[in-house]
Amino acid sequence: MQITRDHVRHVAQLCRLELSEAELDTFTRQLDLILGYVAQLEQLDTDAVEGTAHVVDLTCPWREDQEIPSLERDQILGQAPARAREHFEVPRVIE
């Protein structure tokens, strides 16, 4: 399939990435090239093959239910670009 500017604009919106017009052009060309290369996977008959999501066969292990100290709240909030009292501060969501 041919990747168009509309595909790229849609994908950029899904992953919350603002793009300049120049970036839109470059990424359209590059994604088309890369996905063209990826298309060779279609040469393989994989209908009867189960996918590998993960190489380790795991059941989720249980850990001991111990009380351990959490990270310091001030230390965490101190890394934020903006904080208000005990919260992360962000631009207004609802007008």
Partner 1 sequence: MSESTTHASAIELARRIRARTLGAEELTRAYLERIEALDPALQTFIERDAEGALASARSVDRRLARGEEVGCLAGVPLALKDNLVTAGLPTSAGSRILAGWRPPYDGTAVARLRASDAVLLGKLNMDEFAMGSSCESSAHAVCHNPWDLERVPGGSSGGAAAAVAAGLCAGALGTDTGGSIRQPASFCGVTGLKPTYGRVSRYGVIAFASSLDQVGPLARTALDCAALLEVIGGPDPRDSTSIADPLAPGSLLQICSERRDLQGLRVGIPREYFGEGGLEPDVERAVREAIETLASLGAELREISLPHTRYAVAAYYVIATAEASSNLARYDGVRYGLRAPSQSLARMYGLTRQQGFGPEVKRRIMLGTFALSAGYYDAYYGRAQRVRTLIRRDFERAFAEQCDLIATPTSPFAAFRLGERLADPLQMYLADIFTISCNLAGLPGLSLPCGFTAQQLPVGLQLMAPPLSEAALLSVAAVYQRSTSWHLRHPPVAEVPS
Site size with partner 1, rule: CB under 8 A: 53
Question: Does 22 engage in binding with partner 1 (CB under 8 A)?
Answer: no
Closer Cβ to partner 1, 64 or 67, answer by number: 64
Per-residue binding string, partner 1, 2-21, x by CB under 8 A, is: -----xx-xxx-xxxxxxx-
From candidates 40, 65, 69, 85, binder to partner 1 by CB under 8 A: 40
Report the distance separating Cα 57 and Cα 62, nearest Å.
Answer: 15
Angstrom distance (rounded) from CA 61 to CA 58: 8
Residue 63 tokens read as 């850990």
Give 88's strand partners.
83
List Cα–Cα distances, 23 to 12, 17, 42, in angstroms.
Answer: 11, 11, 29
User: Which amino acid, residue 39?
Assistant: A
Tell whether residue 85 is a contact of partner 1 (CB under 8 A): no
Other beta carbons less than 10 A from residue 2's beta carbon? 8
**Interface contacts to partner 1, rule CB under 8 A:** 7-8, 10-12, 14-20, 23, 26-27, 30-31, 33-35, 37-38, 40-42, 44, 46, 49-56, 58, 60-61, 63-64, 71-72, 75-76, 79-82, 88, 90-93
